[in-house]
Amino acid sequence: MVETRKCPFCGGRMVPSKVETYGHSTYFWVPPWKSKTTGIFTKAVYGRVWLCLDCGALIPYVNRTKLSILREEFEVLRTEGKV
């Protein structure tokens, strides 16, 4: 069973790529604050690309576990008035 999600552009069906990286190609984001999701060896958060089967859009998404950690970290910084 392949996981699907709704395309934010056309409302179509999106399916994820089998892998997060291919050759040297990756989609990444480096947190602009000190984050639990990154360390000495992993400086970035990687996204998995999804393809919309209706409009052809390719969109990278970060997994929910990492996303919830980053959201919490951001909320703390906001509470402290740092963002």
Binding site for Zn ion (CB under 5 A): 7, 9-10, 12, 52, 54-55, 57
CB of 71 to Zn ion, least distance (A): 25
CB of 1 to Zn ion, least distance (A): 21
Report helix, strand or coil for 65.
Answer: helix
Residue nearer to Zn ion on the CB measure, 55 or 77: 55
CB 33 within 8 A of CB 43: no
Cα–Cα dist 32/38, whole Å: 11
CB of 69 to Zn ion, least distance (A): 28
